[in-house]
Structure 1
Amino acid sequence: MFKLFASPYLPEPADPHAFSTEPPPRDPGPAGVLLVNLGTPDEPTAGSIRRYLAEFLSDPRVIEIPQWLWQVILRAFILTRRPQALAPRYREIWLEQGSPLLVWSQAQAQGVQQHLAAQGRDVRVELGMRYGNPSIASAIDRLRAAGCQRILVAPMYPQYAASTTATAVDRVASHAAALRDQPEFRFIKRYHDDPAYIGALAGQVRNYWAQHGKPQRLLLSFHGLPRRTVEQGDPYYRDCMETAALLRQALGADGGLVHVAFQSRFGAEKWLEPYTEPTLRQWARDGIGQVDVMCPGFLADCLETMEEIQMQCRDAFLAEGGRQFRYLPCLNDDADWTAGFAALIGKHLAGWV
């Protein structure tokens, strides 16, 4: 009688141990590491850029105005014009292997995997992009398919901001919400002051200056945010300034050359100041002839570093009378950084591997 009652709701399991009173021990499998970066178009074409921008600029953490109003502006004005304007800029920086952001992010993921494996850690590393491909959802699915019951999420943003780190966490959570057997998650919030990160930046600067000589000033150009977001409690500005202070300290006597500015303004409202391009223009007018620029908030070179800084800001500085503009690349596949990133991730994996 019980079997007749139960069978419509609880069919006989294919696995005879599935409902056993003494199930076999569960293998937690390898630990998973999900590296998350912002994202990139798949191709340097207007159509691909339009798809990417539609997803990116529809995120309410990125554009914090009422969506009913913003979607009208986005679809009627921005997506009809901006992709065509951006396509030539993307083509200028595109690498033979693909988008620079994707190429360098993958290199870091591979480097972290190799360092962790060399330490004897049973870990699987996957890269996911918050917008575009490979998606966060697909990366989580690949880790689950590899048997990962525990996943550490490591955003590739050293400084925390709601529009970068928090939205990556949101996307992980939204994908997990659709899963019946959810993995256990941990999240790295920030590492703007991590000794390995600061050391890699300082090493990059010292090595470059040893080969090419020192400039009159070194400008750290961080990505900007609307000023109101910081006034509302976003810690991003403080994180950036702490990174700059620690880099000055690491450079010792040369730390006095370091200055800070913010790039990539969008829209008419006030953003974090000083702004990068106007700062460089004013320096040139004031007689500063030699500057180096680096973007420590970006772990991988992308449109904002290679085109906006290396091309647009260089041209602006030279047009105002500057004599020498040099761009120091992002950490990209820097060996010291991939080792340091793996060490940082290893600390957060404590108890799992």
Structure 2
Amino acid sequence: MTQARQSAATAVVVVNLGTPEAPTAPAVRRYLAEFLSDRRVVSLPPLLWQPLLRGVILPLRAPKVAPKYASVWLDGGSPLAVYTRQLAAAMQQELPDLQVLDAMRYGEPSLARLLQRLRDEGLQRVLVLPLYPQYSTTTTASVGDVVARADGLALRMVDEYHLDDGWVAAVAQSVRDHRAANGAGEHLLFSFHGLPQRVADAGDPYPRQCEASARAIAAALGLPDDAWTLAYQSRFGRERWLEPATDTTLEALAARGIRTVDVIAPGFAADCLETLEEVSIMLAEQFAERGGTLRYIPCLNDSPAHARALAAVARRALDQWA
């Protein structure tokens, strides 16, 4: 840690969703227990939900999910943890007069405990930057709950950056770079994490912001409307989720005779189980069974362009605060 960072009175905390500490059933169970106990994620009354969660869902789901994590695990931990940590370090280089730290909403490093530590260290200002480009009550607002409970700190939070010029340009350039190296696919699919339809019906702006992000990135790439599609992945449970679904969209593209699809997931700041296992492995295998090739374009992760874009977002928020 540099002297400048040690003495900085202002911190920027980049926050991601969270991850198990190991690709094992017990670790996955601990992580899912915390994640699925958040009322922002599952709104059922705890008296009804907790017995079902702990007695049925966790014992069944954790052993099934652990091998999926193992299939994408890195030497330094889960991809989400590794890339989030490295992104914070890259942003530190862009913001040498500040402390830049990483945290997780669920699991470790805990956002709540980090904010307590920064309070005890006497920090004057802390800007919390959730790594969710698009705002949702199920993700961003949950980070806001932790921020609201933190006492003794001057805190502000960035709610979203779904149309930030630097971020849009970085995502678009990642597509250009991928296509320059591999050739352009016949179609570009934007795959965002799904959301129950009832949450959107209640006024959550997430789907509108996903659509706006996709259109902005497509416009930056100069793509006509028929060259790209937006879809939603990672459905869970039996209720209706946002549509169209990524898997059925890929089926429809295959039925149209499209054989090479480039897929990008701009709702994720860092690669994780949902991008690396669900998209680049599972959905790629399903698309191959229909005679096609699915080419996954990685998240921005800790790329210099990503670090610069988010550092600029943080700097503007701090300037407005001042």
Q: TM-score, normalised by structure 2?
A: 0.95
Shift of 1:286: 2.3
Shift of 1:147: 3.4
| Counterpart in the other structure of 2:3 | none
Q: How does 1:134-283 map to 2 (within 5 A)?
A: 134-174=109-149, 176=150, 179=151, 182-253=152-223, 256-283=226-253
Name the aligned partner's letter for residue 279 of structure 1: T
| Counterpart in the other structure of 2:74 | 95
Q: Which residue among 249, 254, 259 is the counterpart of 1:289?
A: 259
Name the aligned partner's letter for residue 195 of structure 1: D
| Whole-Å separation in 2 of the counterparts to 1:286 and 1:185 | 51
2:76 aligned with 1:106: no
Shift of 1:254: 5.8
Runs of 4+ in 1 over 4 A off after TM superposition: 253-256
| Whole-Å separation in 2 of the counterparts to 1:147 and 1:124 | 13
Write out per-residue CA displacement over residues 288-328 of structure 1, whole angstroms, 9 at most, x where no aligned residue.
Answer: 10001110000000000000001110011111222x21000
| Whole-Å separation in 2 of the counterparts to 1:210 and 1:128 | 34
Name the aligned partner's letter for residue 41 of structure 1: P
| Counterpart in the other structure of 2:29 | 50
Q: Note if contact 2:147-2:155 (Cα within 8 Å) is conserved in structure 1.
A: no
| Whole-Å separation in 2 of the counterparts to 1:346 and 1:106 | 19
| Whole-Å separation in 1 of the counterparts to 2:27 and 2:133 | 28
Q: Which residue among 324, 341, 352 is the counterpart of 2:310?
A: 341
Shift of 1:334: 1.3
Shift of 1:196: 0.7
1:186–1:275 distance in 2 versus 1, CA, 3 Å: same
| Whole-Å separation in 1 of the counterparts to 2:177 and 2:23 | 33
1:29–1:283 distance in 2 versus 1, CA, 3 Å: closer
Write out per-residue CA displacement over residues 120-169 of structure 1, whole angstroms, 9 at most, x where no aligned residue.
Answer: xx311111111000000222134334431211110000000001000011
What secondary structure is seen at the aligned counterpart in 2 of 1:43?
coil
| Whole-Å separation in 2 of the counterparts to 1:218 and 1:29 | 43
| Whole-Å separation in 1 of the counterparts to 2:274 and 2:253 | 21
Write out per-residue CA displacement over residues 44-69 of structure 1, whole angstroms, 9 at most, x where no aligned residue.
Answer: 01000000000000001101222211
Name the aligned partner's letter for residue 215 of structure 2: A
Q: Aligned Cα RMSD in Å? A: 1.5
- Using the TM superposition, name which of 156-165 and 141-150 deviates more: 141-150
| Counterpart in the other structure of 1:5 | none
| Whole-Å separation in 2 of the counterparts to 1:349 and 1:277 | 41
| Whole-Å separation in 1 of the counterparts to 2:320 and 2:207 | 33
Q: Note if contact 1:31-1:352 (Cα within 8 Å) is conserved in structure 2.
A: no
| Whole-Å separation in 2 of the counterparts to 1:330 and 1:249 | 19
| Counterpart in the other structure of 2:107 | 132
1:29–1:124 distance in 2 versus 1, CA, 3 Å: closer
Shift of 1:116: 0.7
What secondary structure is seen at the aligned counterpart in 2 of 1:291?
strand
Q: Which residue among 317, 329, 352 is the counterpart of 2:287?
A: 317
Name the aligned partner's letter for residue 100 of structure 2: V
| Whole-Å separation in 2 of the counterparts to 1:235 and 1:352 | 24
1:255–1:143 distance in 2 versus 1, CA, 3 Å: farther
| Whole-Å separation in 2 of the counterparts to 1:230 and 1:253 | 27
Number of aligned positions between the proteins: 316
| Whole-Å separation in 1 of the counterparts to 2:84 and 2:163 | 21
Q: Note if contact 2:8-2:99 (Cα within 8 Å) is conserved in structure 1.
A: no
2:15 aligned with 1:36: yes
| Whole-Å separation in 1 of the counterparts to 2:289 and 2:162 | 34
| Whole-Å separation in 1 of the counterparts to 2:125 and 2:208 | 31
Name the aligned partner's letter for residue 137 of structure 1: A
| Counterpart in the other structure of 2:278 | 308
